[in-house]
Amino acid sequence: MHLDLKTAGDSHGPGLTMILSGMPAGLPFDAGFIAVELARRRSGPGRSVRQDRESDDFQVQGGVYRNLTTGAPIAVAVPNRVQDEGTPTKLKRMRVPRPGHADLAGALKYGLDDIRPVAERASARETAARVVGGAICKLLLRQLEISVCSRILSVGEHEFPWEPLYPTNEQVVEAPGNYAPNTTHISEGGFGLMEEIFEKAEASGYNLGAVIQIIGIGLPPGLGSHVDWKTRLDGRIGRAFLSVPAVKGIDIGDPGVHRMKSVHAQDQIVPDESYPWITRRTTNRAGGLEGGCTDGEPVVVTARFKPIPTSDEPLNSVELRSGRGALTTTVRHDVCPAIGAATILENMLALVLADACLEKFGGDALSDIIAAREHYLTRLRNQEKEEKDHQRQKKE
């Protein structure tokens, strides 16, 4: 990997720290954009009251000089407003693991009789630091004319229809409002319906899962690689998405291709000189990836979130020290984090795509990377044009 993103910190500790290594020098650092991405992560119906208490003000501690990246690791601190202020007695000990959380596995792994350290680090609060790193990656992608957006497909049993579900470049151009960068799109009337669904769920004391789609647009063919399993882009996307708390599965492209005849499952190729790389696909069932590489169409990834496991209803568990049966107690939690989760996944996809771009185009400075990209696109145009001329001459 060219990019390396590390985070540190706890949910109620002094704050979170993000260190992003491998970013080239000369990238304009837009602090306002990063603040917007952090606000998107906290936004939307179904979130807990903690999101209102956090401002996610952040401090850049290295890797940026006069609003440009320097090529050195970028370090950013995100203080927690809701914290224990360093007082051990502020946060109560936790001795009854909650089903669905990392509590029991973490306590057994590290030999703990207090689950608090596990719960603090495994908390989804950690993703605020990831969003900072992903937002910086979005700034790089912007320079390469690549963008990422998301849309909500369902919450609980309620589906929000989208057409087309797996867009091609042509369809993105025809309906640009449905693919605005850095936006979580909700189908017409969907936001109000989501609010009603979440209010009903909260009143009844249960949480909801969600299905969220993330779309990368403007990607040239050839990012990633087929030559090594570690460099296949679909595998890298899977690792990034499945590392997000509560994500239980993903699909790249159309998950129903296994039911199709082979001839219908493929995205057929046609010439089109209006495209930067001369050819396009008539469909996008592969979700923009073939053989571990981008194929020039939008990358479409769908993630399935399970319901947040913290429940208002006590669940059966055990007390760690005695081993006796016990009931869990409720803590503050989201009813459904769909919109905030979409932002997190957008930024995780941005991290993977930015890494793949640096792998392909190289360079220590942003200007080198932009020049390498332009050279590559010129080669693609010329290569395909020469092949078409060759085929025309054979026919003559």
pLDDT, position 276:
75
Section 287-312 average pLDDT:
93
Q: Report which of residues 352 and 315 the model is more confident about.
A: 352
Q: Is the pLDDT of residue 317 over 70?
A: yes
CB 130, CB 7: distance < 8 Å: yes
Q: Is the pLDDT of residue 332 over 70?
A: no
- Please provide the average confidence, as pLDDT, over all residues in the chain: 90
Does residue 50 register a pLDDT over 70? Answer: no
Q: Does the pLDDT at position 124 exceed 70?
A: yes
What value does the mean pLDDT take over residues 375-388?
Answer: 77
Rounded mean pLDDT, 300-321: 89
Under the banding of pLDDT at 50, 70 and 90, the label for residue 279 is confident
User: Measured between alpha carbons, how far is 338 from 212 in angstroms, rounded to an integer?
Assistant: 7
* Averaged pLDDT for residues 371-381: 93
Question: How many percent of the chain have pLDDT more than 90?
Answer: 68
Res. 82 pLDDT band, cuts 50 70 90: low
Domains present along the chain, CATH in parentheses: 4-371 (3.60.150.10)
What's the pLDDT score for residue 51?
55
Distance CA 58, CA 51 (A): 15
d(CA 225, CA 355): 13
What mean pLDDT is predicted for residues 281-292?
96
Q: Is the pLDDT of residue 194 over 80?
A: yes
Q: What is the structure's pLDDT at 85?
A: 54
pTM beyond 0.85, yes or no: yes
| pLDDT in the model for residue 390 | 56
The mean-pLDDT minimum among 15-19, 39-43, 202-206, 327-331 falls in: 327-331
pLDDT the model gives residue 83: 67
Q: How far apart are CA 338 and CA 210, in angstroms?
A: 6
The burial class, CB within 10 Å (0-12 / 13-18 / 19+), for 136 is buried
Asked if pLDDT for residue 52 goes beyond 60, the answer is no
Comparing 124-128, 191-195, 280-284, 287-291, the range with the smallest average pLDDT is 191-195
pLDDT at position 91 is 75
Confidence of residue 386 (pLDDT cuts 50, 70, 90): low
Q: What does the alpha-carbon distance between residue 353 and residue 82 come to, in Å, rounded to a whole number?
A: 33
pLDDT band at 384 (very low <50, low <70, confident <90, very high): low
- Percent of the chain clearing pLDDT 70 (strictly above): 91
If we measure between CA atoms, which residue out of 164, 162, 140 comes closest to residue 218?
140
Per-residue model confidence as pLDDT tens digits over 133-191 = 999 999 999 999 999 999 999 999 999 999 999 999 999 999 999 999 999 999 888 88
When pLDDT is cut at 50, 70 and 90, the band that residue 388 belongs to is low
* Confidence band, pLDDT 50/70/90 cuts, at residue 263: confident
391 has pLDDT over 90: no
Tens-digit pLDDT profile for residues 203-243: 888 899 999 999 999 999 999 999 999 999 999 999 999 99
Residue 42: burial class (beta carbons within 10 Å; 0-12, 13-18, 19+): buried
* Amino acid letter for position 345: L
Contact predicate 136/23, CB 8 Å: yes
